[in-house]
Amino acid sequence: MHEARLEEAAGGSDDVYEKCIKVNNRGAGEVGEGPLDLEHVIGYTGNSPRTFLALPGGGSNFFKAMGSIAVIGDLTDPHKQKLLRAHDEPISALATSRDGSLLASGQLGSTRVPGYAALVVIWDTLTQTVAFRLRGLTQRVVILEFSDDMRFLAAAGEDCVLYIWDTASGEVVFGKRYIKQLSLFQWVGARDCGRRRVYRLATAMRGIAEVYHGELSFDATRQQWQLATVPVVMPAAGMARNYRCSTLATYAAEAPEEEPAKYLLAGTMEGDLLVLRLAGSRGEARLDTTRPGGAYRASVPVCSGGMLAMVLAPVTHGVDRPAVFAGGGDGIVRKITGYDMRWKLHSQAQLDGPIIALSCVDGGAELLAGTSNGQTYRLLADNLALPGVLLTVSHVEKPTALAFGVRPDVFATAAADGEVIIWDLSDYSAIATTKRLTESAPNSVQRDAKFGGGARCLCWVADVAVIVGYGDCHVRCFNSGSGDLEWTIPTAHRKPVSAITCWVETKLAYLVTGSLDGSVRVWNLSTREMMMQFAEHLKGVTGLLIDAINPHLFHSAGSDCAAFTHDISKEKRTVGHMMREGAFTGLTQRIDSEQELVTCDASGRVLFWDCDAPEPVLSININGQSVTCVAVSPSGKYFALCRDEMVTVFELNVLATAPPKCIADGWAHSAVVSSVQWSPDERQLVSIGIDSCICVWNFFGSLSSPSDTKA
């Protein structure tokens, strides 16, 4: 009765769910329209285990989660990416079939669907399209595992429910609710038994050391699949374990008449490797439920901080006992060799951050590793002591600020955890990252939860440094080549610094900062002394901009829906524009026409302001969608804005009062886009979103297309 109710719940309401995520049902390649073409997506938070996997049979391909998007990438060419969309919340689990023909992804519970439904999606690798959308789990998908013959997909969630689906039809074949969340699920094997196969599996619940060896078989009488389990014999007392990862090792029999020995290898939060020998079938196809399901053999201390990831090296000719690779919370990948109760450490590699994903590249010569610090690595499997290759660096928390300097191939981003990264657009690598200094250890690199209260804004000083405003009210300057801290303005404002800009030339160099308290302060960039202060805004400052013509003028916009122009030579405000309602979220300026200021607001309006007119000379309404950022291109011919998950480009009209024309839409983010900026050569745009992703777009102008340009 209970299992029947679970199967009914797994069906869900297709209409409700599809309506809530209809934007995610576009084709995976439909990311750019018009002269806007997606080139690359940067992002990997490492918030969930097993979200960075090598693709079996795919050569150098890998499978990675970026927010609510699954990505198929290529280790040899960072430009090759395929975005797979079907989720409306961040992906929390990934899985690949043995031959790589099927992929699976599971997500956090949806906030757009009643009941926090956690969708599971099966993908066809060849066509890179959705094969099935599987529903029934809630809160969060924590485990995804394909059976060896790829017939079944098992998924477990934080709601303590286990589902097993048929990958050929998408139907539920088994469902069960446990008293606690499953922390371990491992397919053990399958055997033919009459007309149908029987499947072996191992399970364990969170916080309970006891492991169960089970058999999934079809009951012809009841016409349904059923699961019979028997416990594995564990030590009588003193064994308390919380499992985090597992794999199955099959070793050749010591005697010809014996069956191969199957061992369940389980990694625990206590940092040890539990070795459990599973019961054989003694030549019979069915599991003997009157006998123990196996026996505990050893507990091997491996690492500190928990054993968070594990993978078994591929079986090769002449190797009866393949190596085990274990990733720990101490940031070390260890290669362990052995059998039963005898194990030894072969080699190890130190990485940056707890290791939450490990997989073997096709062929087994290399190892892919992902850390919770947002970094991915490529290691040599034969000897981990040899230096590995850092593949990618990403922000762990959502990016909050973005800016280009003088060079078109270098830009900087800052994140909510305080980290600043300088990026090279030629290969999407990190040139430098900031070093998080603490008062207790000022010369050491620390991974603080939120350094400086989180970065809020940044600007470049030529191409040598970036200046960042922080939530702790400080302003810090970092070297763009090394990421070292150059200087600090402590307590630059009474509240967090929310906007920043600067002007640097031989005779004039100054810094302007704005705060959530509404104040705007001007600083001498050489001495870092405050020159003047303006307190015109009634709410927080959201944008600062040096005038496009006169460097003695700068403009500010705030949440009070006011925009002001200040003259530092006269030390006063010269122009003011206000709206009765709304909140300005961005500020930019035209460099042609009358150099009108351009503001965007939370009501979806883009307003053009002339210094001689009290009211906007032009207003554009973006379908009522909130616009978070607006940026005019370096040539002044175009402007780009962020609306929800989209980046939209308009072509400006020469006449100030003539409406611009929308020429391109770009959709690659899976959550709200918070900022977009043009490269100085106007050939690319970069956007950041609260999905922790950075998208790089190619722009081909209004008169050419990607195909024309490439031709």
Confidence band for 209, pLDDT divided at 50, 70 and 90: confident
Q: Is the pLDDT of residue 512 over 80?
A: yes
CATH (residue range 582-711): 2.130.10.10
Model pLDDT, residue 544: 96
Going by C-alpha positions, the residue among 576, 597, 602, 572 that lies closest to residue 587 is 597
pLDDT band at 517 (very low <50, low <70, confident <90, very high): very high
Q: Is 32 exposed, middle or buried (0-12, 13-18, 19+ CB in 10 A)?
A: buried
User: Which residue's entry shows tokens 């302060």?
Assistant: 521
pLDDT, one tens digit per residue, over 577-636 is 999 888 999 999 999 888 999 999 988 899 999 988 889 999 999 877 889 999 999 999
- Reported as a single tens digit per residue, the pLDDT across 382-400 is 889 888 899 999 998 899 9
**Of 56-60, 191-195, 253-257, 559-563, which has the strongest mean pLDDT?**
559-563
Among the four given CATH numbers 3.50.50.60, 3.30.56.10, 3.30.70.980, 2.130.10.10, the one describing domain 1-31+47-177: 2.130.10.10
Give percent above pLDDT 70 in the chain.
89
pLDDT digits (tens, 9 = 90+) for 41-69: 998 888 899 999 999 987 889 999 998 89
* Cα 536 from Cα 514, distance rounded (Å): 11
CB 553 within 8 A of CB 564: no
Cβ contacts of 131 within 8 Å, gap of 6 or more: 102, 122, 123, 124, 167, 170
Looking at the chain, the whole-number percentage of residues with pLDDT higher than 90 is 65
The pLDDT, as a whole number, for residue 612 is 86
Model confidence at 658, pLDDT cuts 50, 70, 90, reads confident
Q: Where in the chain is the domain with CATH 2.130.10.10?
A: 1-31+47-177, 582-711
* The predicted structure's pLDDT at residue 645: 87
Would you tell me how many other CB atoms lie within 10 Å of the CB of residue 252? Answer: 9
Residue 27 confidence (pLDDT)? 39
- Contact, 604 vs 625, CB < 8 A? yes
Identify the pLDDT of residue 17: 46
The 8-class DSSP code of residue 709 comes to H
Judge whether 685 and 640 are in contact, CB under 8 Å.
Answer: yes
Across the range 198-218, mean pLDDT stands at: 92
Give the mean pLDDT of 639-644.
Answer: 92
pLDDT at 14 over 60: no
Residue 667's pLDDT band, with cuts at 50, 70 and 90, is confident
Residue 523 — very low, low, confident or very high, per pLDDT cuts 50/70/90?
A: very high
- The per-residue pLDDT for 287 is 74
CA nearest to 49, candidates 201, 183, 146: 183
Task: Please report which confidence band the pLDDT of residue 439 belongs to, taking 50, 70 and 90 as the band edges.
Answer: very low
Closest Cα to residue 597, out of 546, 537, 542, 539? 546
What's residue 245's pLDDT? 94
Would you give the end-to-end CA distance of the chain in angstroms?
63
Phi-psi region of 406 (alpha: psi -120 to 50; beta: other; left: phi over 0): alpha
The whole-number pLDDT of residue 268 equals 94
List the single range of 72-86, 443-457, 651-665 with lowest mean pLDDT: 443-457
Q: Of 211, 184, 217, nearest to 199 (Cα)?
A: 217
pLDDT class of 254 with cuts at 50, 70, 90: low
Report the distance separating Cα 590 and Cα 601, nearest Å.
Answer: 17
- How many C-beta neighbours within 10 Å does residue 491 have? 10
Q: Cβ distance 373 to 351 under 8 Å?
A: no
